[in-house]
Amino acid sequence: MSQLLFFTLSAMTILSALVVVFTRKPMYSVLSLIVCFFTIAGHYILLNAQFLAITHIIVYAGAIMVLFLFTVMLLNLNADSDVPKSGKLRIAATITAGMLFVTLLASIKSTTLGDFAFPPASDKGLVQHVGQRLFTDYLLPFEISSILFLSAMIGAVVLAKKEKH
C-alpha cells in the first residue's frame, strides 16, 4: 500500500517537475510547480512527518507560489513576447547546464543504490518532537535563521518606503 502510494507520488512529482521546465506557458509552469510541492508534501506524510508536510504546503504552496502567480499574472508573459536569446547567452547557458549535469552525474555515481526499504514509522516528524529538537539541539541555527528573516523584513520595509524630498 505504502509502496504503491510512494511510486504514484514519485511519478507525479517527476512528471510535474518536468512540466514546470518544458511547458511554454508560465502560468502552467507555476501551477505544476504547486502540484510538485503537494506531491512532496505527500512524501512527508508517508514518512509520518505531518508537521513538515503541512508547513511545506503553508510556506511553499500557500505563500511563495501565490507571489509567483501574482508576478506572472501581472507581467502577462506570452510565448510571443519571448525575447530571442543572443549567441553569448546561449553559450553561457549551455556551459552552466553542462556543469550542473556533470555535478549530478558525479553525485549519482558516488551513491550506491541499496535495497529499497521504508523507514519504520516513527513520530520524529510530529510537531512535539520537531519543536523539542528545534529549541534544544538546533537552537542556534534556528535563532540565526530568525535573524535572517528579520533582516529580510527590514530590507523589504526600507525598499518599500518612499523617500521624502
State how far Cα 1 lies from the chain centre: 27
- Is the Cα torsion angle 4, 10, 16, 21 positive or negative in sign? negative
For another protein, which is the closer residue by CB, 78 or 103? Answer: 78
Q: Which amino acid is at 43?
A: H
Which residues in 100-159 contact another protein (CB under 8 A)?
A: 126-127
> Considering the complex, what minimum distance in angstroms separates the CB of residue 163 from another protein?
20
Nearer to another protein, 63 or 97 (CB): 63
Decide if residue 74 touches another protein (CB under 8 A).
yes
> Residue 63 carries which DSSP code?
I
CB count within 10 Å of CB 32 equals 19
For another protein, the closer of residues 10 and 62 by Cβ is: 62
Contacts of 49 (CB under 8 A, 6+ apart): 124, 125, 126
CB of 117 to another protein, least distance (A): 21
Interaction of residue 33 with another protein, rule CB under 8 A: no
| Inter-CA distances, 18 with 11, 15, 35, 36, 156, Å | 11, 5, 12, 10, 33
Q: Could you write out the DSSP letters of every residue in 86-130?
A: PHHHHHHHHHHHHHHHHHHHHHHHHS------PPPP-STTSHHHH
Binding-site member from 73, 99, 121, 148 for another protein (CB under 8 A): 73
61 binds another protein per the rule CB under 8 A: yes
Can you tell me which of 9, 13, 16, 31 binds another protein, judged by CB under 8 A? 31
Interface with another protein, residue 36, by CB under 8 A: no
**Binding residues for another protein (CB under 8 A):** 1, 27, 31, 34, 50-51, 54-55, 57-58, 61-63, 66-67, 69-70, 73-74, 126-127
